[in-house]
Amino acid sequence: MIRNFILAFIFMGLSVLIPKVVKAQQFSIGFRSGVAINHFKADQHLPLSAIKPATGYFFSLPAELKLNRFLFFSTGISLLQKNYSTIRTGYLSGLYQDNHNTYMQVPLMLGVENRFSKFKIALSAGVYSGYWLRANIKGQTLNVFDIDIQPDEQGQLQSYFRKTAYNEHYKFNNTKDERYELGLQSEVGLNYTLNKIDITLTGAYQNAITNQQKKYMISQPATRNNTFIVAIGIKTSF
């Protein structure tokens, strides 16, 4: 159902975009690169653990249609990581897992802008659709097949599981993993015009409204990505 909604949303956005391209006063394309700081929100997580934000890469090919002096419509395609870490605490201290998740996304946004000499400030908001391309997990866990016997403070022999490091490609589970993501996006940008090229500094916030996991069990906890993006780039107009 979510997949069909996303596809319908993209189709409607393109149906609006194509006639605007013909009538637009100005069309621009560009390239951005930067960092994505992701906060993974879970209503419920493992005991003796803490979920920490993590940083990943961000690349984008944005396109913009200037509708009039102040209004513009923007879209494009982005490749970014939405990473996070799970740190174990208490007697499990030292164990962790880093999740590296790569997404491809398409935003559809409406914005306003104002120019001050060679500088331009832009504010925009809208929605985005994304697809979870790949994932990698890296961390340290206990190996139940590798036991270390050491004396405790009283001299009694105790058995301990040794820690084992791992770094592997995550295989998606069609029952659990929701690879399509839909969310809200807001963006602020500062441009400096140099001849016909704009040098851009952009900050964006993405709030997923779909879960990263499907409803495969009773009382399924919500798990969503909240992502902050900071990027620099260039843009040229036609």
pLDDT for the residue 23: 55
Cα 192 from chain centroid?
Answer: 27
pLDDT in tens, 73-83: 999 999 999 99
CB 6 within 8 A of CB 182: yes
pLDDT for the residue 74: 95
pLDDT in tens, 2-11: 555 555 655 6
123, amino acid identity: L
CB 204 within 8 A of CB 34: no
Residue with token string 């419920």: 44
pLDDT for the residue 99: 97
2-237: CATH topology: Porin (2.40.160)
pLDDT for the residue 7: 55
> Which tokens is 95 given?
């164990």
Buried b (16+ CB within 10 A) or exposed e, 199-218: ebebebebebebbbbbeeee
Extents of the domains making up the chain: 2-237
Q: What is the mean pLDDT of residues 110-129?
A: 94
Return d(Cα 228, Cα 57) in angstroms, integer.
11
**Alpha helices by DSSP H, the chain:** 2-23
